[in-house]
A and B are shown apart, each in its own frame.
Chain A
Amino acid sequence: MDLSQLKVGQSGVVKEFTDLEMSVKLMEMGCLPGETVQVTRIAPLGDPIAIKVSGYQLSLRKFEASTIILQ
């Protein structure tokens, strides 16, 4: 299961990343393995999405979310 499959309001715990380059950027923003992430909203056109992670809201594209594998 990856993050892009979650619906609004659902949450999961980050397990690993499938894309090294993206993972470096995501981890800098506090999205690390072991962190709980929750989908807070989806943009009106279906992409990008917004997630709540380490106490703030982060937006990322669906493709980017799909590189985050959840436990």
Chain B
Amino acid sequence: MKADIRVALIGNPNTGKSSLFNILTGLNQKIGNFPGVTVDKKTGYTSLPDNRRAEIIDLPGTYSLYPKSKDESIVFSVLADKANPSRPDLLVVILDATNLKRNLLLYTQVADLKIPVIIALNMMDLADKAGMKIDIDLLAKRLGVPVIPICARKGSGIDKLKSAIAFANRIALQHDTIDAGALAPQLIARISEEIEVDNAYYALQLAHQHETVTFLTPEQSDRIESLEKEHSFQSQKVQAAETVARYNFINDVLYDAVHLPDTAHEESFSNKIDHILTHKVFGFVIFLGILLFIFQSIFAWSSYPMDLIESLFVLAEDSLRTLLPEGVVASLLIDGILAGLSGVLVFIPQIAILFIFISILEDTGYMARVTFMMDKLMRKVGLSGKSVVPLIGGFACAVPSIMGTRTIENWKDRMITIMVTPLVACSARLPVYTLLIALVVPDRNVWWIFNLQGLVLTGMYVFSLVSAFIVAFVFKFILKAKERGYFIMELPVYRMPRWKNVVFSMYDRSKTFVLEAGKVIIAVSIILWVLASYGPGDRFAAIEQKYNQPGYIQTTTPEELSRLIGSEKLENSYAGVLGHAIEPVIKPLGFDWKIGIALITSFAAREVFVGTMATIYSVDGDTDETESLKEKMDNARNTETGQPVFTVAVAFSLMIFYAFAMQCVSTVAIVYRETKAWKWPLIQLTYMTVLAYAASFITYNLLK
């Protein structure tokens, strides 16, 4: 789509920037990447009163042009790089009217870059309610820009904002805010001359940020570095002086333009809630209660839509089978691609529900309190308060949780969180655990009320969290910090969730999950399908021939016959050969070659284990038939010793293996995407596999 004007929204976090973006663009938005970095770029279109189309870009929320996190570092590059395809013609700075002073800092910075700018003054209703008086005309006059009061939550003032966008000047007319040139006069002059920039503040920003911006050549960056040495430029000192100068300017601007009431009403209401929600005892109790409620809901509410998705896939499978002639194409489509796809799509309900909850908790401001309460505890094991959310999300699925670690500013904290999140017992492990527990743990009550099977399952969940903490603690000493960690964070005022935002954010994240994980899963599913559908030499032909004998055809039903053929084919396929090949390696863990096959086929996704077991023990492929599968596995005997295959030792060894092993290609893919280097997913894959092997070995030998 072609746009006549490109507009970027910029503002502090919690100012209603995403609300405004959603109102302006409606459903007409897409998520891409800023070139060269993994920062989501949200763009959309809106039509202006003069019938022109405007492309709207939502820049990551930031308090200043000096970036603290990965997301924020993109802002300056987009604004400053003249060749950047996302460079806006016009900036809309969104300011929170209830907190103008701090919000204006970012405005003064972008205004000095001399890009045309207008101000959207949001949350005017809250400012009114709090008894604040803002002289908008005076503000606009002092800054030299249009100031449009809006209320994004209620959607008021949007038409006026659109008109202002339509009639905005194409050249920057705002007043200068501070004398940027005076902060480092000689250096700025040299940089302006050599890099050919005509704006003093832009030159100063280059001096500060030349190492991180995407658009300077290495030579230019080196040149700036040596100029800085020459003029003994101290980035932090100059930055401190700049901030003080900016706040002096802001105080002058706000003088007489804003009248604050004696006591802020909204604040005290928020304070009252905080007394309870961050209380020494109740705070944790409520947090635990909310967590329990979320888990309950994830599992309770998702079962119906999950069944629905599953039956839709069964339907698609059946109709494809009748439509397509039996053969390679049908098998590839049904057993390869469709099966792989259903493995991903079936988790959408759980992921969507988890995201709804996380969005609500974020939107209301409660998540910031959780971070506040948990920081000390998490710091002890090398994590930060901000790691709590991804870890909790890990109980549903590691993929979206790892995507969510972008909010962690500190590099080391973020990497450790990414490293340990896949250890948390995700929902794909659940079918594996339930099957194995049902197999070896008796279904009876202990201490009257606790069901033994339930206790073991709960134990696996607790165990996963404990192991994540222990591994995090180890990584704390291995990883070298790139920068000092700090925890300077706004605690936003409590608000009702904005349901539109909640839905949008859920939709965005679910979509990313499907696209990111789906690609990899399908590719790996096809490889695994080849491994499981073809065998070396003429083994398959021999099997067909064997079961074609009249003896078999007469004594067994057609269904049973095809199951027997399926089972024997799997045994003789490449996957089966591999299973036999790895048997010596996994024997110390108590696993036979059949389990070996399942370990190989479930490499892409853990829950495939159950399906493969069903095929190997030639029961109906349907995973609902766990009862019959359980029976078969129960009766399975070792051919050499005649002992049962699935003893308590083997089952627990297997569960521990799945607890640690990275049997999830989607996670590997997402870790690569988030870290932009194969090094990290490889380290993760290695440590988890080693840990899984060692822990299984110990478990098996202890219980044997």
Q: Other than the known A43-B375, A60-B488, what 11 A-B pairs have Cβ atoms closer than 8 Å?
A: A20-B236, A20-B237, A21-B236, A29-B63, A50-B274, A50-B491, A55-B99, A55-B101, A55-B102, A56-B491, A61-B487
Residue of A whose beta carbon sits closest to that of B264: A55
Interchain CB contact under 8 A, A24 and B102: no
Given A20-B236, A25-B68, A41-B274, the answer on whether A32 and B489 have CB atoms closer than 8 Å is no
Contact with A along B272-296 (1 / 0, CB 8 A): 0011001111011000000000000
Is B491 a contact of A57 with CB atoms below 8 Å?
Answer: yes
Please indicate the chain A residues that have their CB under 8 angstroms from the CB of B64 in the complex: 28
Q: Known interface pairs A23-B240, A55-B101. Does A29 touch B484 (Cβ–Cβ under 8 Å)?
A: no
CA distance in complex: A31, B349 (Å): 44
What are 29 sample pairs from A and B whose C-beta atoms fall under 8 A apart? A20-B236, A24-B66, A24-B236, A24-B243, A27-B243, A27-B247, A29-B63, A29-B102, A29-B488, A30-B101, A32-B247, A33-B244, A40-B271, A41-B274, A41-B275, A43-B375, A44-B278, A44-B283, A45-B373, A48-B372, A48-B385, A50-B274, A50-B491, A55-B101, A55-B260, A56-B102, A59-B368, A60-B486, A64-B486
Chain A neighbourhood of B68, CB < 8 A = 25
* Contacts of B443-493 to chain A: CB distance below 8 A: 484, 486-493
List A contacts of B377 (CB < 8 A): 45
Residue among B102, B275, B281, B373 making CB contact with A43, cutoff 8 Å: B373
A43 to B278, Cβ gap below 8 A? yes
Q: Is the CB of B488 within 8 A of A26?
A: yes
Residues of B within 8 A of A (CB): 63-64, 66, 68, 98-99, 101-102, 105, 236-237, 239-240, 243-244, 247, 260, 264, 267, 270-271, 274-275, 278-281, 283-284, 368, 372-373, 375-377, 385, 484, 486-493
Give the Cβ gap from A37 to chain B, nearest Cβ, in Å: 13
A22 and B490: CB pair below 8 A? no
Nearest B-chain residue to A46, judged by Cβ: B376
Q: How large is the interface on A (under 10, 10 to 19, 20 to 34, 35 or more residues)?
A: 20 to 34
State the CA gap A39–B237 with chains docked (Å). Answer: 27
User: How distant is the Cα of A57 from the Cα of B489 in the complex, in angstroms?
Assistant: 9
0 or 1 for each of A36-71: is its CB under 8 Å from B? (1 = yes)? 000011011111101010111111110010000000
B68 (CB) vs chain A CBs: closest residue:
A25
A-B CB proximity, top 6 nearest: A57-B491, A30-B102, A45-B376, A27-B243, A44-B280, A47-B376
Known: A47-B376, A55-B264. A20 touches B488 (CB 8 A): no
Q: A58 near B488 (CB under 8 angstroms)? A: yes
- Asked if A27 and B240 sit within 8 Å, CB to CB, the answer is yes
Asked if A43 and B244 sit within 8 Å, CB to CB, the answer is no
* Shortest Cβ distance from residue A8 to the other chain B in the assembled complex, whole angstroms: 11
Complexed CA–CA distance, A3 and B135 (Å): 34
**Would you call A28 and B375 a contact (CB within 8 A)?**
no
Which residues of B sit under 8 angstroms from A44, Cβ to Cβ? 278-281, 283-284, 373
Most chain B beta-carbon contacts within 10 A, residue among A21, A23, A30, A33: A30
Bound Cα distance A64, B485 (Å): 10
Question: Nearest Cβ distance between residue B22 and chain A, in whole angstroms?
Answer: 24
Nearest CB in chain A: distance from B304 CB, A: 38
Rounded to whole angstroms, the CA-CA distance of A55 and B488 in the bound complex is: 16
In the assembled complex, the Cα of A33 lies from the Cα of B66 at a distance in Å of: 20
- Write out the residue numbers on chain A whose beta carbons fall within 8 Å of the beta carbon of B488: 22, 25-26, 29, 58-60, 64
Judge whether B490 and A48 touch: CB under 8 Å: no
B271–chain A nearest beta-carbon distance, Å? 7
Most buried by A among B63, B368, B376, B492: B376
Helix, strand, loop or mixed for chain A's interface?
Answer: mixed
Dominant SS at the B interface?
A: helix
Instruction: Enumerate chain B residues within 8 angstroms of A64, measured Cβ to Cβ.
Output: 486-488
Report B101 CB to chain A, min CB distance, Å: 5
Complex Cα distance A44/B288, Å? 14
| Complex partner residue of B375 from A20, A21, A47, CB under 8 angstroms | A47
Give every chain B residue within 8 A of A22 (Cβ-Cβ): 486, 488
Residue of A nearest to B380 (CB): A45
State in angstroms the CA–CA spacing of A54 and B102 once bound together. 7
Whole-angstrom CA separation of A54 from B100 in the bound complex: 9
For residue B243, which residues in chain A have a CB less than 8 angstroms away from its CB? Answer: 24, 27-28, 32
Measured in the bound complex, the distance between the Cα atoms of B264 and A22 in whole Å is 29
Give the Cβ gap from A41 to chain B, nearest Cβ, in Å: 6
Contact of A28 with B105 at beta-carbon distance under 8 Å, contacts A44-B283, A64-B487 already known? yes
Task: Give the residues in chain B near A48, CB-CB below 8 Å.
Answer: 372, 375-376, 385, 487
A41 and B278 within 8 A (CB): yes
Check B66 against A59 for contact (C-beta < 8 Å): no
**Which residue of A24, A45, A47, A59 is within 8 Å of B489 (Cβ)?**
A59
Given the interface contacts A25-B68, A44-B280, does A57 sit within 8 Å of B244 by beta carbon? no
A32, B102: Cα distance in complex, Å:
11
Whole-angstrom distance between the Cβ of B197 and the nearest chain A Cβ: 23
Q: Tell me the complex Cα distance, A52–B493, Å.
A: 12
Q: A44-B280, A50-B372 are in contact. Are A25 and B491 (CB under 8 A)?
A: no
B260 touching A59, Cβ below 8 Å? no
Please report the C-alpha to C-alpha distance between residue A33 and residue B270 in the assembled complex, in whole angstroms. 27
B460 to chain A, nearest CB (A): 28
Minimum CB–CB distance for A5 against chain B, Å:
18
Q: Please, which residues of chain A bring their CB within 8 A of the CB of B279?
A: 44
- Set of chain B residues within 8 Å of A25, measured between Cβ atoms: 68, 486, 488
With A55-B99, A59-B372, A61-B375 in contact, do A29 and B490 touch (Cβ < 8 Å)?
yes
CA distance A28 to B106 in the complex (A): 9
- Residues of A close to B244: CB separation below 8 A: 27, 32-33
Q: Is the CB of A58 within 8 A of B486?
A: no
What's the Cα separation between A38 and B491 when bound, in Å? 14
Partner of B484, one of A21, A47, A55, A56: A21
Residues in A neighbouring B280, C-beta threshold 8 A: 44
Distance between Cα atoms of A25 and B63 in the complex (Å): 10
The interface residues of chain B lying within 8 Å CB-to-CB of A54 are 99, 101-102
Contact check, A20 vs B240: say whether CB atoms are below 8 A apart: yes
List, in ascending order, chain B residues with CB within 8 A of A28's CB. Answer: 63-64, 66, 105, 243
How far, in whole Å, are A45 and B99 apart by their CA atoms in the complex?
A: 29
Alpha-carbon distance A26/B18, docked complex (angstroms): 25
Q: Which residue of A lies closest to B64 (CB)?
A: A28
Inter-chain CA distance A29–B63, complex, in Å, is 7
By a CB distance below 8 angstroms, the chain A residues around B264 are 55
Report the nearest B residue to A33, measured CB to CB. B244
A59 near B373: Cβ-Cβ < 8 Å: no
Tell me the complex Cα distance, A54–B492, Å: 13
Residues of B within 8 A of A56 (CB): 99, 102, 490-493
Contacts of A52 in B (CB 8 A): 267
Q: How far is the CA of A44 from the CA of B105 in the complex (A)?
A: 32
Q: A30 to B284: give the CA distance in the assembly, Å.
A: 30
A26→B135 CA distance, assembly (Å): 28
- Residues of A with C-beta under 8 A to B239: 24
Closest chain A residue to B271 by CB distance? A40
> CA–CA, A59 to B68, complex, Å?
16
Name which residue of chain A comes closest to B282, CB basis.
Answer: A44
Chain A residues lying within 8 Å of B376, measured Cβ to Cβ, are 43, 45-48
